[in-house]
Structure 1
Amino acid sequence: MLNYATRPAYHPAMASPDFIENVSAVFIFSENCTPILEVRMCGGAVLRAPAIRFDMSALHQDLVSRSKLVQVIKRTRLCINPFDIAGLRFCFIGPLTELVVEMRSGEGYRVRHEPQLLLGDDVHDVFKRLWEARQ
């Protein structure tokens, strides 16, 4: 079990313009049945906080609305900074299509093409939005 007291956590006062410019990715996931908001910075720092500390959705929306982040995966609400992308490529594995997003920090995200699902993603649309955001 992780000790969140030893890790820095995101809170609204940290959302200065400089902080927002350095955000690489933001997403929500579950760990031991607890929702966690994770903010990854361009320099490699990772800020994590469990939901019991604040209203996670409000903070997630605050970060996304005040920045140039683009939502990539609906299910985890993964939003990434298009200017921190090192590479984009399509990967075809049998009938599956995936968009692989590689970040400058070395992180990688795989987005499956599942537009028929309720929270599924259309990788062609994601690619288009990332490309347009970089222009």
Structure 2
Amino acid sequence: MTGCVFCAIVAGDTPAFQVAGTDSAVAFLDARPVFKGHVLVVPREHAVTLADVPASALGGYFGFVQRLSVAVERGLGAGGSFVAINNKVSQSVPHLHTHVVPRTKGDGLRGFFWPRTRYASDSEASEYAARIAAAL
């Protein structure tokens, strides 16, 4: 896709610190990491959001994300990882990308993306669950 920085990285036209790649995805270090070792995983084929990825490609893509989350922990001695995708809102580059961020206990990352809230009642929670289920 012309003008997409992630497509340019995938094509090798824009430099990045590549970590690994498969036939369908590429992983590289985030240029502005939350913590050192923060990896972005992108599909080779341009897709703006998760909904744009063909269902047949999801297994391979998320299998690679899973392998990267394990590799980040093992390779960096991290206690865990934070794996996240933004769809549209807060998506700084309009090309699907999954963040794999190394975590350690006490690393100071709290309330990273959003404030937490509670449902007013079990009835309200049930209503939200039903609305989402109905949309499936």
Q: TM-score, normalized by length of structure 1?
A: 0.30
Query: So what's the TM-score if we normalise by structure 2?
Result: 0.30
User: In proportion to residue count, which structure has more helix?
Assistant: 2
- Asked which structure has the greater RCO (Cα within 8 Å, sep 6+), the reply is 2
Whose radius of gyration is greater, 1 or 2? Answer: 2
Q: Which has the higher strand share?
A: 1
